[in-house]
Structure 1
Amino acid sequence: MRKRNSQPVPKEKGNKRKKVILENSQRTLESFFQKRQFSEETSACTSPIEGDDHNDTNSTTRTLEIIPDDSESDLLLLEKLVKSNSGDPLESQSNSSVPGSSVVDAISIDEIQPFFATSMYTDEFDKIMETVLENEKYLFTDEELQIAEKHRVLHIEAKHLFVRIFLRKHKWIRLRKTDYSRNIADINHASSILCSRQIKFARDETELVDLAHLLDILLVDELKALIQNSRISIPRGSAQNRCSLINCILDYANGKQRPSPLKDNSQRLLAFEQKTKDDGFTEKGAQERVQLLISDVKTMIGPCIILEETIRTLFEKIQFVYYRASSQSNVSAMTAAILVRTSRRTFPSYIVCRSNNFWPHRDDLLEYYQAVKVYQGFKDMIEDLYANRKNERAQSAEQWRCKEVEVLTIAWLQCESTLENWKIIIKKQEAKVTSDDDWDTARLYFRKRFEAGWVYTHMIEDGAEVLGRLHEYEKEVLILKTLLGQNVYRLGKRGAWFDRLALVQMNHLRSGNRRIHLKAALETCTKAIRDPKVHLVYMSSLQRRIMRLESMLNVPKREQHDFFYNRLTTATERIIYGERLSDAVVGVKSVFRNNDGGECSVEELALGYYNKNGYKGFHSENGIIKTIFGLLFWDILFAPFPDVLETPFQTAPLDLPTDAFFIGRSYEIYTRLRELSNGKGLEILKTVYDRESKAKTWCIGVTWDYELDDLLQITECIGANALAQICKVFAEEYDHRTGGMPDLCCWNYEKRECLFVEVKGPGDILSETQKVWIDLLINSGVGVELCHIKIWDGEDELLNH
């Protein structure tokens, strides 16, 4: 080891040397971060899209004043940092094993964090704006276009702040709790620009004048601190959650409670001296008391900002137009683009064929956007109700039912308010329909999913289900008949509507003559099986209901329907006994003991049995078949075709859920089916898997958890002809066929045998879609078994035998 020169350095020269090194180091670091900016994607990997919340972080310009003048060791560290940064900047900051990373232990990483003039969020947002306004400007008014232009020329840091706030939930954002310092040098200045009279994109804390709104911004700990500082008493036994704390403070502000008693003698004396003054708890001092609380809360909150509702709505509509959104979410659809730029997600490579008349008129877009917002509120109301059901069950069943009825009634009233508007839309659309056989109408049917009428139809369909839960069966019958009376939207659901209508007429209508209701149910089922738009999935259930109704009505044998020609093939049944460890609870899956003594599900118990008998298998349900179909039809799914690949962030063409997919690509699909029948499936699957598996490209139905060898063996064991038939069904009716596949996919490669197994625990029965899939697989030449898991009764079972 080289010995350090111990000769003393004159103090004046030493200080001068330190000063020169500091100046050189400062210039070197500044030049380095200006010339060699870190990759934007790398920086984004450490900052979430939605969060960015920190504790009291001041978003100001980062400085490099990191070394005291009299610190020789820190000076050497800085020299080492500058030298280490002469190489690749990404290497110097990636991990602690890189030379120079020891500096991080001595120097805060925030102090050397680089500053970026650009942001991938803003870049993607600008790209969306440019694309939409270039080709679909006709969807926006002149005033809206002026706002968009104002955004385009906005100060860059104000634009960064606007985009980041837009991506978050629409609420007041506390600037102290955010850290956008990588792109915004002065966040307060950027906020003032957005809130200025010239821009008017946002509002600041000066417009917060309501105490309740202010309290809603505070964290729970801050609410508790405010209660303590204001000497507000909390009722004994009350909850310490946000809602209770806010109500407690509001009661105090409204004069419903006085401050808690003082314990200190000096405080009591001070209170006695001020006894003659207005203590703030009389009617006279109420206003001062509220203003004092508002002042205290504003001090705690600090600078805040929220986007103007009209501004946010405009840019949300622009997002809708760009992404062809079919639902509303608090998180912007830009999330997909950000994940792509940060290499966290890969979408298929295809040619984007963007149409310029997706919504022909501005009114079409506005109606659709409004319908989506209304339906989202309706869904959120119901989902929140049942999401909190577990907590509500801590109360009595009667209390829960009262709560359920109250919320469902409000939801139905909201749904009912859309009926008249929906009927007007239906009349307009039916006037446009010229022929059911119009090829172009069938090909473009999928685009109706982006019309207000489709959204309202879906909402009314859910409203009928709400009426069923409310036991309002008379109203439910009227709604179902109204849905069946139109032939424009959600035609694939007509079978489900017919089946539900017949069920209600058959079992739930109590008023009047029961025989009349049974005849009405029979007529409903008869209409259903004659309706060409009713899907095959619902036919079996409707036919069985017809036979049951005819028997109940004592229809003469010669006049009864006979569906022997259309009966579904049933699977071979197998019984496996197991020891159940869980109690029999409705809605809860049974837990059994596996061979190792541990806990397992009924599917895992059955899989263990088949493994013992020479089969390898997965509990995959529809996962494996959908993966095989996606890989075999990859190039057809993402082939250039008008109107279906509108953005770079799609996992499937827009028309896949409808029969338009097969109609528009019939030649390509039949060509691929012939290739599969000729045994080329293994080659196609392997080629696509090798190309896409490394990036784990997102494609509808495809799961990359399965190994290539397993997929190849399963494909070979299924057989060429059976594989072609299964894939044809997916191509024709993907939306109807993604459910109902058997639970287990097992295969014995030595015997070239594939076996699908549907597992049923105690009390479970087959659904209609499962029966249809079993029939299809058996008729295609694939083995299927129905495995019943029964509870082992031990000695009792032995005695019985």
Structure 2
Amino acid sequence: VFKLKTGGQGKGSLADSLLDHCSKQQPVLFGSRQTSLQQLVLKRALDILGPAWRLCDEPRDAWRRLLRLFSLGTPWDMEEAGETPQVYGLQLVAAGKMAFPEYQVTRAHAVFSSRLDLIRYETSRILETELIQATAEKKWDKAKQLFYDIEKLAKSTDALERQERDQQLAPFLRHFSMCGVYTRCRCLGVDVLQRLKEHRHAIKVLQDLLGQKLYCQSRRGHWWDRLALNLEVHLGKPNEALKVLHEALDDPTISPAARHALVTRANRLAVKMPKSVSSTLESLLKLEKWDALPHVEIEGQLAERMVPGRTNLFAARDGSTMEVISVEEVALRHYSMQGYPKGVHGEGSTFRALFGLLCWDVIYVSGVPDAFRSAYQALPLDLHSDCFFANREEHFLKAFKAISESTIQELEEKVAATYGAHCGKSSLVQWDWFSCTDIQEIVRCLGPTVLSRVCELLARQFRHRRSGLPDLLVWNPETNKAKAAEVKGPGDTLSPKQVVWLRELLALGVDCEVCRVTATSSKRLQKRKKNGADERECSEKMD
């Protein structure tokens, strides 16, 4: 038995602790020979593991490369932690435990021009995985070195040649280019440089990213915001930051949420500037002013931290026992008492499910080149690109018109028919979250106009609109009333995406609000219990 200080660590941390323990301990004597702890640990591990085989690298790599090529755009696109999810996924399909929507596979363009091109993409994905892991583990020096290595590759002759070829590909297929992967890595590298306080280098990378128009264009709003932040806060150049914000707000590619974040930053900067400058700034940038969002405050009893890594857990009484619940569950119970007996903490999944069920035939329509390149796709490859709506515009416009002009009964029948025909298939809809009856009730409560507009917002900018939707949707099937709520616990703030969605829903006439849960501390609870016990004791003595 090895005595280690675990402290509830995960498997990786336990392995590191064991290796560290072995390296620090003195050898143990067995007769006249010394056996190190490392050898003992290895022997015990092999005894537990049993016979083990290591595949030859060459055939193993060829097989994995074949699977990766086959699974582009599927849920098993890249192996993780040494596993091969493609094989497991295919086994599930063969066993009838996983199914996909029906659609026409159309491979109009070759993503990779050669075997070498595929290998370069594979190598870039491996580097990306290592960089993500290094940042997740806060190994900043390692992450910096990986980033520098990737920077060199991104500026190599091979990368420049690939960029020329990528110009001929649809934007959503560039995701599978080594240069597209390098761009994602450079975006992550900005965070690494900022962590290491190398802000001038971070600014240079951001300017390079904004200077290209081929890859990751949906992230431009984030790049503009980071550039303005670095110039204003870290380099102390507010005037240059203003120029950046002006240019950013003229960028037609930024999302509504990114625009909100940029306007918020510009407003804060305007307050710090001289009055003559701030008034010119407001006129120049056309800064919007927003009304306050409706909100309600409720109180929850904060539980003692019982789950490692979890914050804002609350205590609630269930009969004679106390249970630990999330901040969203506190809000659900509040709304239940306010006349909304049914509700779901689905965040965006509720509205995405409605979009999927009402627009199923358009999402999986045939005739869009390269949208479906495999028989095992849950979603079209262009879903998260700006091409998604444009590639199906005529079909979508007809669908929105049909939804808005339908009766409630017709919409209920439509979602029921789609639900029955496709339930269980990997898609936008998380089937285990909602019953068909739930969906029909929600349709009845929201109505055709709201549903049509929500579907349109998601279709036009799915990548930007897929998140930020309210945490809760609660409803009353008897009164046909529904309410959407964004729940915030102690210390939580609204993100730009959440603000934008709340304003969109309010404009549509949806009853929605921010629900702020304030905490009563566990110490205060204990004090209340103690005071209650003291009062009972005094009462008994007086009796």
Tell me the TM-score normalised to structure 1 length: 0.56
Structure 1 residue 280, shift from structure 2 partner: 6.5
Inter-CA distance 426–492: structure 2 relative to 1 (3 Å threshold) = farther
User: Which segment is superposed worse, 423-432 or 668-677?
Assistant: 423-432
For residues 683 and 341 of structure 1, the distance between their equivalents in structure 2, rounded to whole angstroms, comes to: 32
What does 1:415-564 align with in structure 2 at a 5 Å threshold?
415-424=147-156, 427-428=160-161, 444-509=170-235, 514=236, 517-554=237-274, 556=276, 557-562=278-283
Inter-CA distance 546–428: structure 2 relative to 1 (3 Å threshold) = farther
For residues 88 and 485 of structure 2, the distance between their equivalents in structure 1, rounded to whole angstroms, comes to: 39
Which of 335, 339, 345 aligns to 1:614? It is 339
Structure 1 residue 544, shift from structure 2 partner: 2.1
* 1:603 to 2:328 alignment: yes
What does 1:616-765 align with in structure 2 at a 5 Å threshold?
616-640=342-366, 641-679=368-406, 680-693=410-423, 696-765=424-493
Contact 1:756 1:784 in 2 (8 A): yes
Inter-CA distance 705–573: structure 2 relative to 1 (3 Å threshold) = closer
Structure 1 residue 449, shift from structure 2 partner: 0.4
For residues 450 and 488 of structure 2, the distance between their equivalents in structure 1, rounded to whole angstroms, comes to: 25
Which digits, 9 at most, give the CA deviation of each residue in 1:8-52, with x for residues without a partner? xxxxxxxxxxxxxxxxxxxxxxxxxxxxxxxxxxxxxxxxxxxxx
Structure 1 residue 595, shift from structure 2 partner: 6.0
Structure 1 residue runs of 5 or longer lacking an equivalent are: 1-223, 225-233, 262-278, 287-293, 386-403, 435-439, 796-801
Other-structure match for 1:347: 100
Contact 1:576 1:787 in 2 (8 A): yes
Contact 1:328 1:376 in 2 (8 A): no
SS in 2 for 1:790: strand
For residues 518 and 24 of structure 2, the distance between their equivalents in structure 1, rounded to whole angstroms, comes to: 59
Letter of the 2:146 counterpart: Q
Tell me the TM-score normalised to structure 2 length: 0.81
Which digits, 9 at most, give the CA deviation of each residue in 1:72-127, with x for residues without a partner? xxxxxxxxxxxxxxxxxxxxxxxxxxxxxxxxxxxxxxxxxxxxxxxxxxxxxxxx
SS in 1 for 2:516: strand
Percent of matched pairs sharing the same residue: 26
Letter of the 2:148 counterpart: E
Letter of the 1:670 counterpart: L
Contact 1:540 1:567 in 2 (8 A): no
* 1:409 to 2:141 alignment: yes
Structure 1 residue 506, shift from structure 2 partner: 2.0
Which digits, 9 at most, give the CA deviation of each residue in 1:212-245, with x for residues without a partner? xxxxxxxxxxxx9xxxxxxxxx9xx688987788
For residues 297 and 656 of structure 1, the distance between their equivalents in structure 2, rounded to whole angstroms, comes to: 46
* 1:260 to 2:30 alignment: yes
Contact 1:568 1:771 in 2 (8 A): no
SS in 2 for 1:305: coil
SS in 1 for 2:311: coil
For residues 47 and 444 of structure 2, the distance between their equivalents in structure 1, rounded to whole angstroms, comes to: 70
Structure 2 residue runs of 5 or longer lacking an equivalent are: 7-13, 36-41, 526-543
* 1:331 to 2:102 alignment: no
Other-structure match for 1:43: none
Other-structure match for 2:112: 359
Which digits, 9 at most, give the CA deviation of each residue in 1:132-155, with x for residues without a partner? xxxxxxxxxxxxxxxxxxxxxxxx
Which digits, 9 at most, give the CA deviation of each residue in 1:697-736, with x for residues without a partner? 2113433331111111111211211111111111122121
SS in 1 for 2:54: strand
Which digits, 9 at most, give the CA deviation of each residue in 1:494-549, with x for residues without a partner? 1011111212222233xxxx3xx111221221111111222221111111212222
Structure 1 residue 368, shift from structure 2 partner: 1.0
Structure 1 residue 753, shift from structure 2 partner: 2.4
For residues 258 and 361 of structure 1, the distance between their equivalents in structure 2, rounded to whole angstroms, comes to: 56
Structure 1 residue 369, shift from structure 2 partner: 1.4
What does 1:572-591 align with in structure 2 at a 5 Å threshold?
572-582=294-304, 588-591=310-313
For residues 301 and 546 of structure 1, the distance between their equivalents in structure 2, rounded to whole angstroms, comes to: 59
Over aligned residue pairs, what C-alpha RMSD do you find? 3.7
For residues 670 and 463 of structure 1, the distance between their equivalents in structure 2, rounded to whole angstroms, comes to: 40
What does 1:62-101 align with in structure 2 at a 5 Å threshold?
none
Contact 1:570 1:774 in 2 (8 A): no
Contact 1:569 1:778 in 2 (8 A): no
SS in 1 for 2:490: coil
Contact 1:621 1:743 in 2 (8 A): yes
Inter-CA distance 646–518: structure 2 relative to 1 (3 Å threshold) = same
Structure 1 residue 474, shift from structure 2 partner: 2.7
SS in 2 for 1:307: coil
Inter-CA distance 412–712: structure 2 relative to 1 (3 Å threshold) = same
For residues 97 and 483 of structure 2, the distance between their equivalents in structure 1, rounded to whole angstroms, comes to: 36
Compare CA radii of gyration and give the structure with the larger one.
1
Inter-CA distance 340–295: structure 2 relative to 1 (3 Å threshold) = closer
Inter-CA distance 609–357: structure 2 relative to 1 (3 Å threshold) = same
Structure 1 residue 366, shift from structure 2 partner: 2.3
Other-structure match for 1:309: 57
Other-structure match for 1:185: none
